[in-house]
């Protein structure tokens, strides 16, 4: 299986198993202060599309997948302690996937 197909298969599984974060508090916490072995992806949902920057303070390395109306517009591996990370364009959903949930699969 090539890398793109493997990513899409893993992405669909992550999206299905994600915890939805809609409140201000849940969006603020995100993956911060989670245990080293935390594996559950988080799905952030906004009412309006926008360019909402994220940070990675107090987080371990994770995969960020930005979507607009269900379509992927950008994805990045986010390193810890980044002040501001933004996608290529506006989005209304963000999926944060802890790398601990990926295991040895290729990304």
Please give the full DSSP string across 10-48, using - where no structure is assigned: HHHHHHHHPEEE-SHHHHHHTTTT--TT----EEEEEEE
Prediction pTM value: 0.76
- pLDDT classification of 65: cutoffs 50, 70, 90: very high
Contact 101, 41 (CB under 8 A): yes
- If one counts every other C-beta atom within 10 angstroms of the C-beta of residue 91, the result is 23
Contact 65, 88 (CB under 8 A): no
* pLDDT for position 72: 94
Q: What is the pLDDT of residues 3-52, one digit of tens each?
A: 555 555 566 666 777 888 878 877 776 766 666 666 688 899 999 999 99
* pLDDT for position 107: 44
Question: What Rg value do the Cα atoms of the chain yield, rounded?
Answer: 13
* pLDDT for position 17: 77
In terms of Cα–Cα distance, which of 101, 46, 99 is closest to 68? Answer: 46
């Amino acid at each position: 299986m090539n890398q793109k197909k493997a990513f899409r298969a893993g992405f669909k599984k992550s999206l299905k198993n994600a915890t939805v974060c809609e409140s201000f508090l849940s969006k603020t916490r995100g993956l911060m202060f989670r245990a080293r072995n935390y594996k559950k992806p988080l799905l952030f949902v906004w009412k309006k599309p926008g360019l909402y920057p994220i940070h990675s303070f107090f987080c371990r390395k994770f995969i960020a997948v930005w979507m607009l109306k269900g379509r992927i517009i950008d994805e990045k591996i986010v390193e810890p302690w980044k002040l501001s990370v933004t996608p290529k364009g506006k989005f209304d959903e963000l999926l944060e996937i802890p790398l601990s949930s990926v295991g040895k699969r290729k990304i």
